[in-house]
Structure 1
Amino acid sequence: MTQSSPVAAAQLPQWRPALILTKLAPPRTRHYIHRERSIGLLRPGMERKLTVLVAPAGFGKTSLLSEWKKVLAQEGCAVGWLSIDRDDDDLFQFGAYLLAAAREACTQAGEPIPCGLKPDPLAPADTMFAELLNAVLALPRQMVLVLDDFDRLASPAIHEAVFRLLRYAPENLHLLVAGRGEPGFPLSYFEARGQLLKLDAEALRFDSAEAQAFFSAVSGHALSAAQIEVLLRATEGWAAGLQLATFALSATDKPDVFAERLPFARRSVEAYLNENVFVHVPEPLQTFLLQTSVLDRMSVPLCDAVTGSSESHATFEWLMARNLFVRPLDAEGQWYRYHALFAEYLRKRLVRERPHEVAELHRRASEWFAAQSLWQEAVRHALAAGDVDRAAGWVEQCAMTLVEASDVRTVLSWVAKLPPEAVHGRLRLRLAQAWALALTMQTVAAKAVLQAVEDDIGHGRLPLTEVVRVELQAVTALIAGLSDESELSLEMGRKVLALGPDTGSWEEGIGLTTQIFGLSYAAGFDEVERLRRTLTLNTGADTPIYAKVYRQSMVGLSLFVEGRLGEAVQTLEDVLRESNARAGRQSAASVLPVGYLAAIHYEWNDLDRVAELLDERLEMALQSCSLGPLIGFCVTLARLRLLAGKQDEAYRIVEDAEAVARSRQWLRMQVACKAEAIRISIGAGDIGRAARIGHDLDGLVGQKPATLRGSYLETWQRFQVAHCRLLVGRGRPALAVPILQGVQAEVRAAGMQYLSAQISVMLAVALHSAGQRAEAVQAMRAALTYGQANGLQRVFLDAGPAAREILDALCLQQDRLAEVEPWYVRRLCAGFDAPASEPDAADDQAEPVAASRLSAREVEILDYVARGLSNKEIARAIRVAPETVKWHLKNIFEKLKVNSRIQAVRSGLGRDLPRVAERPVARS
């Protein structure tokens, strides 16, 4: 894609969105003493879901866990490691690292890496955790994930995600969380179930034998029993204290000298380092230590660049030889870091003694990382240097490369870290932000960003070049398509292609895709065929998979809307196979064509295939699917559940889907969900509920517009069919007949054969119910003619007893069938007699979505409810006001669609608490 920057594209830094691999292994320790006692304290945790290790800095948490990792690996476990820093305080980035840790665990254990552990940049963060659970469940061995320095993460979203991960963790997954403070999710939930092992500093304190072994390993000398006693008394078994002592003390010192020279009980660590450590370092090395303290990880070339010297290699050798708080991070000895306590000490001293150097040191580090295309650290150091313009420039140069590779969440993460003033004047960065928001289905926010850009261009605050003009048109077309504005999508897609974007470019692809979507709802099927033959579809093997799937899915949609179901399935199945192979079954790309495919296979009564398509994909679909596929997915899944007699679950699916549609302002999907809820209610004989939903639907849709155009025709069709279904259900079918006839005329004019056949069946039922039997048979014949050619079954079977009566009548009147084969009608009649059941493959679908969206606090409160506590008792337990508990319970009831505390416990805690029914639940 042509850049607006004067710098040639070849000269721009190339973004390599790679993870920092040294974070996926514990730091290497030169002198480590086997901690048999501490290891023994960790062992019971393997029978539980969670181990939490909390201790102050310097107690040896990382070293102990590093040994525990080796022990577990030797015992056959797959063990993943993640060293966390504050830059990981982003849900998507944390999730990506967690998957990487799991992949590394599989590799080290000799297991093939499950497809679900491969990163999907378009997948919502929540889906990463679901994929991790599925992958671990299939693993033939125990997996342990060690999260070191977890207390550096403050994001509530991360704590919520880890809480859910643990709550639904399979038996072979164990999480070990270490830090200076407790994690921010409720440990009481796991403690009450015997799923938590919690250890503190006492588990880490060195005993006399360990202290002796450590001192001997570091200094080469043994201490007397009296010296060890003094040392332990002064340090209280603190690992960092022992390390400090080995640098400052001698084995020849007498115990009383030991006591005088160990100030741990009276002075700060900083004072001790000043008086006993730093003074032993030559002055040039002191400068090196202070200057490199701005780095979280160090290498020789990086330190040379930051310090402006060429002595870094020799300096590292000196520091390592004296065990001066430097730890290698990899086996090759390329990367190092300072001990956390020592790094903090150095940074404080740098700011105090050389404040004028801090910004320049960060700037040098930033430039070095940028030269290596290590952008995450480059941007962070640029921001630390106060050079926000440089940081924003680097993000801007790389943003569209990321967007075109579908790595849009990285773009949004970086823009969020930049000050607004650094973003405001950068047109390309703001456009990339609009692209990223649109591709993550945040179309309302994307519109706002794009409108602000257009306003600034209109007022002359931003430049408008031909390159920018093409991109503006393209992003506008995409937002229009994802917002279900099919007419605007068609108009803008045509404008993009009229501007002549480069063949195979991102803009050409978006223009083509959005034009096909618009044409599908403008009866432009012939033009779609011409576009497929004559324009570059940019669907080679190197095309970003999501872009390819989205484009080909629009072709499948066009065939579906026209009513060419067999060809639509062939197109969609082809692209699904490729997306499964390239991105994995649970990827955002793979779930995109599934909604359309499931709807067609359901119509064909191929329920096994439907179940296979939808199984365990609901959460991904809700978070990453565009409107059309999501309607097909959720409505089909609800009908599948209904066939299995799971009416409540069918309701929950459409209600959760409607909530998503409401948040994205998708009217067509809101109407589809309410229409399906009316259908479920009438089928259950609950006309009152159906009428209430119908009243809400009337208010949502409003009056008929003067003309029905674009995708709104489908919205209006669903609304009118739901209204007519309600009229028939309430015994007023004659009123439904002219409405259905009018809607069918409009649908036929738009060339929508499948929708027309659906309406014909509904019209036949209405006519039959109104006593117009001959007219009903005629309407049914029209549906059968199309249905036989396209394999329709469920539209007839789901229409109920009235449809069966009409078909039975047709069977007795062979001359009335005309071009419809008798076998087809007999097959449909036989379908009414077959028992309806949901295939087994769908029985393992994840818990109802509403229950999975309870926050950690809400689950904690629900847990207390299950134990029989009153609101006041719960309030005391979690230290809030009783009114706050009531407020939380109200939210819980709404999310779970329940009316009582007992129902909430059963629905919200599910399999976690099979004993709930046996416990009395106190009411306040």
Structure 2
Amino acid sequence: DPTLLIAHLSGRHHAIGEFLTENVLASLDPAMLDFLLATSVTERICGELASALSGVSRGREMLAEVEERDLFLRRVDDEGQWFAYQPLFADFLRQRLQRDRPEKIPELHRTACEWFAAHQMLSDAVDHALAADDQRRAVELVEDGGIYLIDHSQVTTLLGLVGKLPPRLVVGRPRLQLSLAWANILLHHTDAARQALTLLDAALERSELGESEIAELRVDAAVVEAVVESRADHTDLVDELVTPALARPDALPPWVVSTAANLATFTASTRGDFAEAHRLQEWALPYYERNTGPYILVHGQCWLGLAEMEHLELDAAEDRVRKAVRTARRTAGRHSLAARLTGSVLGELSYQRGELDEAERLLDEGYTLGGGAGPVDFKLARYALGARIKVLRGDPAEAATRLNEGLRVAAAMSLPRLRATIENERIRLGLDLDADLTETPPAQYARRRRPVAGIDAIIAQIEEDTGIRLLRERDPELACLWAQEWVDRHEGTERRYSQLRAQRLSVGCLAAAERVDEAKALLAEIAARCAALRLARFLPDGGPRLAALLAALHADQREGHWRPEWAAVPAAFLQAATAAAVPHTL
């Protein structure tokens, strides 16, 4: 049985060589033998490629004849367009070609290279350029095709191809370094992206490219640098870096423009300009539609969803983020990076609405991404809120593990907002630090940072929330004063969720100071708003002091002691909030 024999022998085995020579090749006419040898240099073959390699116009018909004569050729696709020789037979043909016509081999590989390149099959093209010992052509192919691969979400393929190239030829290629910077930042390899940007800058200094082309590359590179800055939770330079890209969108790839719009949306949100965030996303829509993958689109929708959450447009936020999750799952797969990142944002929304099962599942899926994936806003819920849910599920050990890991990520990546959020959650849940971690000293009223704006203000509010909660047990009046500063700071601004959090903190301080009437009045106002927004978890997450006051308020409602000046709260909502589990001890 020839097939069985071939399956058990290598192409270099003496017996297989004799068998194939005497029983297969000897019976072929010269034209068919030439055809087999020429078409053996590629791993797979189609009619058009066969014609290019063999110089025979009837490539498709010749392949059909090879198949009909049982010359170890099989179809490898559903459409029947692509064929491959049995591997050991192909190995034998290549040895025969090397023995009889070695001078033809480089030219056959060059022909295959150009055919694959013309048909956007970059990996095959690069392999054949290298097989032809044409390293410079291989580098040119990867440089020219790098943007195509990124645009088609094939960044790991790009990095794999670059790994095949001689490093000395890669270092000085500006476009290739730009592609590497994009590929690495999309894979969250920040250090590698920075290195590529450094090499890009050096290559441009020595480049013979025209001024306009160099300027275009620098605009593109500035967007990558802005991504690096945003991943570090820095906003100071982001708008300056992306402005040139937003000013000349039609001169750049659509995913570069889309990314620039997402970054500008992020900075607009951090400064509370939610109208600008909406405007940017609407402006960028045509560029999103020209992208082939979902990653940048769903990122933009999540940024806007987070802005809507802060603006307390929760129904709009939930609708937007759910659509983003569905898009990511449909186009990239349920377990894709895009799906799990967007799922982390949806998990926070689901939790606030009281959907703990869905929230836990989504945040657990996001947690598997590790610390490097996504900007800070996409990490916060995975660690802090995920830990809170574990406490509610009766698993404080897992909660502590998640928080301690998050603190290590925050330290390793220098992310103060992540650190402050996790520290706040850990202290409020009453969980211990691992021995290798150092506790951050709590904020003090006398040393509070002023003035603050943007992300610095967000961090300050989180840090001071922790400090105020610790202070109110020993100096409740000062805690009331400090908490009220944050209520006043957000009064009249668009940061409505931050104001609601400040008001919730103020209720606990007023209760600690035994200013019960003031505390109940403010709590009724907050409860009315939460009921309208369907924020099921906001009040139970206010801590034990607020929970006790909430129970008293519920008793006032049941017993007919509700004061006319208090905001009206639906009885069912108040009852559910009072009955809900309280995860925090502070």
* TM-score strictly above 0.5: yes
Q: Superposition pairs for residues 654-733 of structure 1, below 5 Å?
A: 654-658=403-407, 665-680=414-429, 682=430, 689=432, 695-698=438-441, 707-726=451-470
Question: Which residue in the other structure is 1:607 paired with?
Answer: 356
State how many pairs are aligned: 574
| Shift, 1:518, TM fit | 0.4
1:768 is aligned, of 500, 503, 511, to: 511
How far is the alpha carbon of 1:829 from its aligned partner?
A: 5.3
Match of 1:850 in 2: none
| Structure 1 residues 512 and 297: alpha-carbon distance in aligned structure 2, compared to 1, 3 A threshold | closer
Look up the SS of the partner of 1:697 in the other structure: coil
- Deviations along 1:28-65, whole A, 9 cap, x unmatched? xx9768xxxxxxxxxxxxxxxxxxxxxxxx673xxxxx
1:433 matched residue in structure 2: 180
Pair 1:365–1:699, CA change in 2 (3 A): farther
Contact 2:343 2:362 survives alignment (8 Å): yes
1:670–1:409 CA distance, 2 compared to 1 (3 A): farther
| CA gap 1:636/1:461 in 2 versus in 1, 3 angstroms | farther
Letter in 2 for 1:537: L
Report the counterpart of residue 831 of structure 1 in structure 2: 577
CA deviations over 1:476-507 (Å, ceiling 9, x no partner): 33333333223322333334323454699444
Structure 1 distance, partners of 2:68, 2:251, is 59
Tell whether 2:280 aligns with 1:537.
no
The change in CA–CA distance for 1:795 and 1:31 in structure 2 (over 3 A counts) is same
Decide which of 514, 523, 548 is 1:805's aligned counterpart. Answer: 548
Contact map agreement 2:511 2:545 (CA 8 A) in 1 = yes
For 1:441, the aligned partner's letter is: H
Instruction: Please state if 1:475 is matched with 2:212.
Output: no
2-structure distance, mates of 1:691, 1:769: 31
How far off is 1:387 after superposition? 1.9
CA distance in 2, matches of 1:615, 1:690: 21
Q: What is the CA distance between 1:644 and its match in structure 2?
A: 1.7
1: distance between equivalents of 2:90 and 2:281?
A: 60
Shift in alpha-carbon separation, 1:307–1:768, aligned structure 2, 3 A: same
Matched, 1:302 2:43: no
What's the counterpart of residue 241 of structure 2? 492
Q: Secondary structure at the match of 1:794?
A: coil
Summarize the Cα distance change of 1:610–1:274 in structure 2 as closer, same or farther, 3 Å threshold.
Answer: closer
Pick from 96, 118, 134 the counterpart of residue 387 of structure 1.
Answer: 134
Could you tell me which residue of structure 1 aligns to residue 343 of structure 2?
Answer: 594
Q: Which has the higher contact order (CA 8 A, sep 6+)?
A: 1
Report deviation, 1:383.
Answer: 1.8
Residue 641 of structure 1: CA displacement?
2.5
Change in 2 beyond 3 A, CA 1:745/1:59:
farther
Judged with a 3 Å threshold, the aligned counterparts in structure 2 of structure 1 residues 395 and 402 are, in CA distance, closer, same or farther, namely: same
CA distance in 2, matches of 1:650, 1:488: 35
Tell me, yes or no, if the aligned pair for 1:522 and 1:709 is still in contact at 8 Å: yes
Deviations 1:630-672 (A, max 9, x none): 3224433332222121222223334445555556554423433
Q: 1:438 to 1:799 in 2, by over 3 A?
A: same
Distance 1:330 1:616, change over 3 A: closer
1:396 to 116, 137, 143: 143
Q: 1:519 Cα shift?
A: 0.8
Give CA-to-partner distance per residue, 1:200-254, whole Å, 9 cap, x none: xxxxxxxxxxxxxxxxxxxxxxxxxxxxxxxxxxxxxxx549x99xxxxxxxxxx
Relative to structure 1, the CA distance from residue 349 to residue 579 in structure 2 (aligned partners, 3 Å threshold; closer, same or farther) is: closer
1:644–1:807 CA distance, 2 compared to 1 (3 A)? same
**1:381 deviation in Å?**
0.6
Are 2:371 and 2:379, in contact at CA under 8 Å, matched by a contact in 1?
yes
Kept in 2, the 8 Å contact 1:694–1:726? The answer is: no
Is contact 2:528-2:570 (8 Å) kept? no
Q: What amino acid sits opposite 1:379 in the alignment? A: V
Relative to 1, partners in 2 of residues 1:830 and 1:309: Cα closer, same or farther, differing over 3 Å? Answer: closer
Q: Which has the higher helix share?
A: 2
Question: Cα 1:288–1:600, aligned 2, differ >3 Å: closer, same or farther?
Answer: closer
1:310 and 1:460 map into 2 onto residues whose CA distance is 43
Q: What TM-score does the superposition give when structure 2 sets the normalisation length?
A: 0.80
Cα RMSD (Å): 4.5
2:384 is matched with 635
Q: Is the 8 A contact 1:658 1:669 kept in 2?
A: yes
Corresponding residue to 1:567 among 316, 320, 331: 316
User: C-alpha displacement at 1:365, in angstroms?
Assistant: 1.6
CA distance in 2, matches of 1:314, 1:540: 43
Cα distance change on mapping 1:338 and 1:810 into 2, 3 Å: closer
In 2, Cα distance between equivalents of 1:758 and 1:782: 13
1:824-863 equivalence runs, <5 A: 827-828=573-574, 830-834=576-580
- Say whether the 8 Å CA contact 2:281–2:300 is kept in structure 1: no
Cα distance per residue 1:306-325 (max 9 Å; x no partner)? 34456878986887787665
- Deviation string, structure 1 residues 150-194 (Cα, Å, up to 9, x no partner): xxxxxxxxxxxxxxxxxxxxxxxxxxxxxxxxxxxxxxxxxxxxx
Separation in structure 2 between the aligned mates of residue 780 and residue 836 of structure 1, nearest angstrom: 16
Q: 2:153 aligns with which of 406, 411, 414?
A: 406
Question: 1:590 and 1:285, CA in 2 relative to 1: closer, same or farther beyond 3 A?
Answer: closer
Task: Calculate the TM-score normalised by the size of structure 1.
Answer: 0.53
User: Which residue is 1:98 aligned to?
Assistant: none
1:596-653, CA deviations, whole angstroms, 9 ceiling, x for partnerless residues? 3332332232435535655755435867543313322443333222212122222333
User: Of 67, 92, 111, which aligns to 1:364?
Assistant: 111
Paired with 1:362 and 1:726, the residues of 2 have a C-alpha distance of 72
Contact 1:588 1:625 in 2 (8 A): no
Judged with a 3 Å threshold, the aligned counterparts in structure 2 of structure 1 residues 281 and 641 are, in CA distance, closer, same or farther, namely: same
5 Å matches for 1:47-196? 60=7
For 1:720 and 1:374, locate their aligned partners in 2 and report how far apart those are by CA, in whole Å.
56
Residue correspondence of structure 1 range 880-895 to structure 2 within 5 A: none
CA distance in 1, matches of 2:569, 2:90: 84
| Whole-angstrom distance in 1 between the partners of 2:369 and 2:434 | 32
Asked if the contact 1:635–1:654 (Cα under 8 Å) also holds between the matched residues in 2, the reply is yes
